[in-house]
Every structure is written in C-alpha cells, then in structure tokens.
Amino acid sequence: MNLERMLSMCRAGQWSADDLDWSVRPRALTLEQERTVCQYFTDMSGIELLAAALFEVQRDATDDPLLAEIFDSFVADERRHAEVARRLAAHYDVHGLRRYAVNPHLERFRGPFLDVLHRVGPDIANAYITTGELLLDVALLRSLNDYVDDDMSAQAMTRINRDESRHIAIDFYMVEYYSSPEFVRRAAAQPARSLVETLRAAVAMIVMLYRAGPFLREVFFEPLDLTDPAGTRMLEAFKRLQLLGRKPEVAARPFPRFLKAIQDLYNHPVLGRALEPVLRRAIGLDARVIVNLFTPDELRRAQRMSIQEMAREALQLKFST
C-alpha cells in the first residue's frame, strides 16, 4: 500500500455533518420503528466513539509519521460519524416518544475494553478494530440503512461508507504488518513484562470478555436480527474474518491462536457440547459465528490470496451482499 497516497485520500475525504441536507423530511415510520431507529442511531454514535478511541491507541503506538497522521484522520472520521449518528437519531425522533441513551452494556464495556488496549500489544487492538469495522461496514450500517429506507439516512451512509472503506483498507494493511517478521522481531526485543503487569493484563482481559457478551448481543446481533433477518451480511463479514485468521502468518500470532483454539474447542463433537456456555462467554460471540463459516474450497482459495487481495474482496462485499 502507498501510505502517502492513502494519506492524501484521507485529507481529501474530510467532510462535515453540516454538508448533509438536514432539511429533508423524514419518512413516516410507525411508532415502534421510530423507537427502534432512534435507539439504533444512538447506539451507533457510541460505537463510533469507541472506534475513535481504538484508532487513538493505534496512532499513539506507531512510530511511522504517515501512519500516525492517517490514524489521526480516522479519529476525526469516527467522531464525525458519531455526531452524524446523534443527529440522525434526533432527525427521526419525530414524536419524542422517550429520551434515548447509549445502550448501558456498551457503556459498561467501554472502560474495560480501553483498559485492555492500554495493557496489551497494538496487534490485539488492531484485531478488534478490524473485526468491528468489518462487521459495522459490511453488515450493520448497510442493514440499518436499508431498514430506515430514507433519503436522510442514505445521504449520511454514503459519506460514512467512503470513510469506512479507507479504514478497512488500513485495518488489513496493519494485520499484515503485525504478522510480519519485522514486527515479530521488534516485539521479541521488547523487555519482558513483570509478573504484576502480566496479571493486571490478564484480569483486564477477563473483565473485558465478561462485558463483551451482553454488549455484542444488544448492540450488534439483535439489531442485525431485525434489519438483516437472514443474517447474510453478518455471516459473510465473520466468514472473511475467519479466513483472514487462518492465513498462516496471521494464525501464528498469539491472539489469533487463542481465538482459533476457542473456536476449535467449540466445534469439537464432544468437548464443544460440554463447554459451549463457557466458550461462548469466553469470546462473547453468537453461536452462529463461532462455527466454521467457510468451505474447504474457500479456505484453500483464501490461502492463495494476499492479505491486500482479501481486503479488496471484503470491500467489494459492501456492494454485492
């Protein structure tokens, strides 16, 4: 990837929430639809602010000035998306049915999650941002926009979608970097953590994973069950993540190894059934996305692809599913 060209695109791609035509009259919604749409856009604002915090971690961790500026533009993007989501919630709040607040499970997850990111390596932060961005961009935002089916939402999502395409391209680029021999050597050269630091990181991870289940269920999976009942987009997004995690250079890293071990246990014909509740809670994911979502042929094909080819194919999903 040409980082200078990407940075130029980031600079040129900046826009303001005021660039949108907020005078558009909202489509008539039922009262239940209005409550649902307003809550989902409110939660979207919280998700976008969480994404901004993730990119701040990556910005502060890199010693590459080009990447630092790219990540800084992503922080601005996500804060803008949060503002747009808040304004969309207000735009569709025609009847003032109730006061809307970000889902409490998202708020409870945020603190432990950020604590983990400051105690573990940047590669783990990137794993989470890649997962979140792909699920958000390929599945949730597009399905929500289809559910709203209104010009105001479409205006906003078109611009947000352009920003998110840049984010996903860099997410995959960083997955490749964090799997490279150069990063492995640099990580190995770092001073060993003390026992106290290791224990604190482990406790932080346990607390975060405990909070992850309710957050993911109410903020991602339940909205997708309503807006994409067949689950096509959600399953496609997770399939891409599974295939990315099976790339040999990615699979060799500690965190992907941990996730694969959990998934392999879950899919074991005997142990999986016995340990199912514990394993599901351990990674906070819906049962539908812990099973292997790819065929042997799809796995063999992905193994032949470069990570950047996989990124381009993932971006194409936004226009084909």
Classify residue 177: in a domain, yes or no: yes
Classify residue 20: in a domain, yes or no: no
Classify residue 17: in a domain, yes or no: no
Classify residue 75: in a domain, yes or no: yes
Question: Which pLDDT band, with edges at 50, 70 and 90, does 171 fall under?
Answer: very high
Using one digit for the tens of pLDDT, what is the confidence trace for 115-134? 888 887 778 878 888 888 88
SS (H, E, C) the chain: CCHHHHHHHHHHCCCCHHHCCCCCCCCCCCHHHHHHHHHHHHHHHHHHHHHHHHHHHHHHHCCCHHHHHHHHHHHHHHHHHHHHHHHHHHHHCCCCCCCCCCCHHHHHHHHHHHHHHCCCCHHHHHHHHHHHHHHHHHHHHHHHHHHHCCHHHHHHHHHHHHHHHHHHHHHHHHHHHHCCHHHHHHHHHCCCCCHHHHHHHHHHHHHHHHHHHHHHHHHHHHHHHHHCCCCHHHHHHHHHHHHHHCCHHHHCCHHHHHHHHHHHHHCCCCHHHHHHHHHHHHHCCCHHHCCCCCCHHHHHHHHHCCHHHHHHHHHHHHHCC
Tell me, what CATH number does 173's domain have?
1.10.620
The b-or-e profile of 203-236 (16+ CB within 10 A means b, else e) is ebbebbbebbbbbbeebbbebbbebbeebebbbb
Which residues form the domain of 191? 3-12+28-319
How many domains is the chain partitioned into structurally? 1
Please give the share of the chain, as a percent, with pLDDT higher than 70.
98
Please give the share of the chain, as a percent, with pLDDT higher than 90.
55
Q: What is the mean pLDDT of residues 272-295?
A: 78
Q: What is the mean pLDDT of residues 86-104?
A: 96
Using one digit for the tens of pLDDT, what is the confidence trace for 72-85? 999 999 999 999 99
Classify residue 186: in a domain, yes or no: yes
In this prediction, residue 280 carries a pLDDT of: 72
Q: What is the mean pLDDT of residues 293-320?
A: 89
Using one digit for the tens of pLDDT, what is the confidence trace for 224-250? 999 999 889 999 999 999 999 999 999
In this prediction, residue 159 carries a pLDDT of: 95
Q: Is the pLDDT of residue 282 over 70?
A: no
Classify residue 118: in a domain, yes or no: yes
